[in-house]
Structure 1
């Protein structure tokens, strides 16, 4: 047993680690063995209410909102320092909890720390207003103010990094927050609470309530004292959140599902494209919203590229997520394993050729699915249209640019896309024609914190990242200042008393 194992995960409310009001617990399972890892406090509406009350009081009466920016950002940087100091534990807990290979989770702590440092810098340098002068009569200017209590609902894939992606801008801009992490991955959210506690943030500024989406998540969305809901997860749940938050006019940011295309033309650097495609779908166990789960290959190179894909898939190392050599580990939960395997069975029923790697015998008790290729696909198959969210790649041939653009857009999602060609005019044309929030040309999914992140169509609403997060996490207020004399309508004055100017 590791020194980092956790027996019980409590809530973190008002600066204290507390059990749930109902006393209920739920089991957190090890995806590599399907044995119980630990027990977790099951939050319900009352726990959410207590957390929101704590966050509301910290915002309305505490020092966080009124604290000097430099002082507040000292806390943000301190959190980043503590994340880096606990990087080994965080990577271990993330792999233990999710099944992600530890060679990949080791990078997540650094990225999470970077989120906090980045927003500390962004608030100092980019959270600025504008001024509009009207002759010598007025100056109008804008300021950014924190909105209030942010409800942050995070997913189970890369849970620590994606939680900090929301927590960092929410706190740096002066909001308080309640985090509801995914019930399948509570360990690093609990560790983040410990880090925030050690950083000494005022009580109630940051709160964590564990539990299920139907109870804790729904209560957070419906609570009238929560002004913001930032959600990352599946499209159906995002739609329900928007509906349930409508009565209280919540501001919502939705980063939802994806079925992102990778398009490889015959003139592309095929070795680099192969590297990127394989990494893009099979890293993170395929549980990545921006995964290139649809691959379109030009007919001239289709056989050559597919043969290379088959060889790569056969050589991907499936195994224990704690083994540094492992490239694909178990899926997060048995229910999700059933979801993905049902789509592989559907692919066979729809007429696709299914080619899978091998799951080692010693992994038989876990939620393992070998990297899988679906060949002989058409764009209308359900396995091509619907999000599978696992290590499954559907491959489709195409002839020309206009045809592949139509197929790339013929899906309800629009999160990301990848184009591989050495014809830059074509690359730009295609990128601008694809209906997605983000497109990479001749590149894998590389991250730049300055860019807006988000999707089109059923892949989301709004943009976060860079200074674009300020549009969500702050209220832009306009202040009008009269600096000279100007006429004001003088209703109710006698004619002889009217001056037509403002009194000095």
Structure 2
């Protein structure tokens, strides 16, 4: 086979699938079945990678490895400085291998090569940030318990963490979790989406190169319904972090009940772009177009609902349309394209079904709507519907594709009602020049992440997560590190303890 680095440098498709075994206890692991499954590139329609379809026995081996590594303290008992050194080295290795990781990410996910490159680079920055946090994990002291008693609050790693990641941002979302897990001193078993596993497996090898002890990070590939479910249920796993759809999140929450493991969930979203009459419409239009077209709309924080003041609705929709008309959709390995492929046939059919439903429900198609699956290559043009009724499927359900619904409002109260009138609460964007109005809005909008006069931006310093049916807990920032720790209260008798019976 042609060298992977050479393929990445030339952006040529592989002649045969790039094979990647699982990674358990610091080494490659082919599993009990040895069954490799090929993944076709959704942007090219040809097999590009091949990964193992794991069994529950393979998952058990991975958990046992992580359990041993947790219990013997090979990672948790290192100093924060020592853990930080490994995480910083991992960040550098990510940067050193950015082109290979970018290439694999684009082949499997179908996202444009430039977007993949940006995400891999940004992910390295998250590892660098988390390295700093490894040195500042701390608790509290309480010197107010009386002269003879002293209190400590100690923050300790929670233990073995199961991480289940989705296919839309396989490397970036993992990097919003794993370095914080490691900074806290935990060990991990990672189950990436079966469609996009290769960059996770590559990262596991880089972590060993960076000096991570064997068994601290293990990667098991295969079906979520098999190994993902087993991971959520496993009695030797202390916490499960799941990113994906709300329906699957509910099943993870139920599965975690067996040993009452801690659960972190980042789930679906139906995120509003709220545009008031005084907003900069050109700036808003560009951001709205980006928000719906980014990653072909396959983004949990995608701004898929435009809630706009009626007085500027037509102007804004025309400007959004003008921006989208300049967007190029096509081969994800062509750097000139802005939007790549839909990840697979099922997702393609789902999005197309929503577009057809919008037409049937009487919404006005402003632009887009064209879809192509020729040669098992899946592309959908960014699509905008006006006159979308608030209770329709277009306005209520997560499409996870490049489809924007537009609904006007007349009053501030109506805008907030529309923004909050869905089961989700993941993210929102607010557009206004009025500082007082912006503050009032972000106080009342129900979402875990809010942007004012911007969208889908920020860094690892800020926490992410949702409210309502968009999730539980927070990732990234110091709060994200604390998610992977437990608090322990310690009471120290300083003087003589008062006797119960004199």
Alignment of 1:109-124 (within 5 A): 109-124=120-135
Q: Which stretch shifts more, 253-262 or 1-10?
A: 1-10
Contact 2:373 2:379 in 1 (8 A): no
Residue matched to 1:351: 362
Q: Which position in structure 1 is the counterpart of 2:159? A: 148
Q: What do residues 335-386 of structure 1 show as CA deviations (whole Å, max 9, x unaligned)?
A: 1111111111111111112244386989764110011011121111111100
User: Are residues 1:78 and 2:89 paired?
Assistant: yes
Give the distance between the partners of 2:253 and 2:407, measured in 1 at CA: 35
1:131 aligned partner: 141
1:494 is matched with: none
How many Å separate the matches in 2 of 1:33 and 1:7?
15
CA deviations on 1:209-267 (whole Å, 9 max, x unpaired) are 00011001011111110001001100000000000110111100000000000011110
User: Which secondary structure does the structure 2 equivalent of 1:124 belong to?
Assistant: coil
Q: Which runs of 5+ in 1 are unaligned?
A: 491-497, 499-504
1:233: which partner in 2? 244
**Deviation of residue 68 (structure 1)?**
2.3
Per-residue CA shift, 1:376-403, capped at 9, x if unaligned? 2111111110000011100111111011
State the alpha-carbon separation in 2 of the partners of residues 351 and 228 from structure 1. Answer: 46
Q: CA offset at residue 3 of structure 1? A: 2.5
Partner of 2:34, secondary structure, is: coil
Q: Secondary structure at the match of 1:475?
A: strand
Q: 2 CA distance for matches of 1:7 and 1:94?
A: 12
Provide the residue aligned with 1:188 in structure 2: 199
Residue 52 (structure 1) shift: 0.4
Tell which structure's C-alpha radius of gyration is larger.
1
Displacement, 1:148?
Answer: 1.0
Q: In the alignment, which residue of structure 1 is the partner of 2:268?
A: 257
Query: Matched residue of 1:104: which SS?
Result: helix
Specify which of 381, 385, 394 is matched with residue 370 of structure 1.
Answer: 381
SS, match of residue 82 in structure 1: helix
> What are the within-5 Å matches in structure 2 for residues 324-335 of structure 1?
324-335=335-346
TM-score by length of 2: 0.94
Measured against aligned partners, the alpha-carbon deviations of 1:411-469 in whole angstroms (never above 9, x if no partner) come to: 00000111111111111111111111121111222223222211110000111221112
Aligned-partner Cα distance in 1 for 2:80–2:499: 38
Deviates more, 1:467-476 or 1:207-216: 467-476
Check the 8 A contact 2:159/2:187 in 1, yes or no.
yes
Aligned residues: 490
1:38, distance to aligned residue in structure 2 (A): 2.6
Which sits farther off after the overlay, 162-171 or 16-25?
Answer: 16-25
Which piece of structure 1 moves more, 198-207 or 454-463? Answer: 198-207
CA contact (8 A) 1:140 1:481 kept: yes
- Partner-residue secondary structure (3-state), 2:495: coil
Distance 2:398 2:369 in 1: 23
Task: State how far apart, in whole Å, the 2-side matches of 1:430 and 1:167 are.
Answer: 33
State the partner residue of 1:13: 24
Tell me, yes or no, if the aligned pair for 2:49 and 2:198 is still in contact at 8 Å.
no
Distance, in Å, in 2 between the alignment partners of 1:107 and 1:488 is 65
- What's the counterpart of residue 296 of structure 1? 307
Once the two structures are superposed, the pairs formed by residues 32-111 of structure 1 within 5 Å of their partners are 32-111=43-122
**CA 1:121–1:269 in 2, change beyond 3 Å: closer, same or farther?**
same
SS at match of 1:211: coil
How far apart are the structure 1 equivalents of 2:219 and 2:133? 25
Matched residue of 1:300: which SS?
helix
CA deviation string 1:257-300 (max 9, x = no partner) = 00000011110111111121111111111111111100011111
Query: Where does residue 292 of structure 2 map in the other structure?
Result: 281
> Match for residue 242 of structure 1?
253
Q: Are the equivalent residues in 2 in contact too, given 1:344–1:354 (CA < 8 A)?
A: no
Taking the TM superposition and a 5 Å limit, the aligned residue runs for 1:301-320 are 301-320=312-331
Q: Are the aligned partners of 1:318 and 1:358 in contact in 2 as well (CA < 8 Å)?
A: no
Q: Distance in 1 between matches of 2:341 and 2:313?
A: 30
Alpha carbons 1:8, 1:39 under 8 Å: kept? yes
1:336 paired to 2:347: yes
SS state at 2:7 partner: coil
8 Å CA contact 2:329, 2:339 repeated in 1: yes
| 2-structure distance, mates of 1:219, 1:362 | 34
1:196 to partner: Cα distance:
1.4
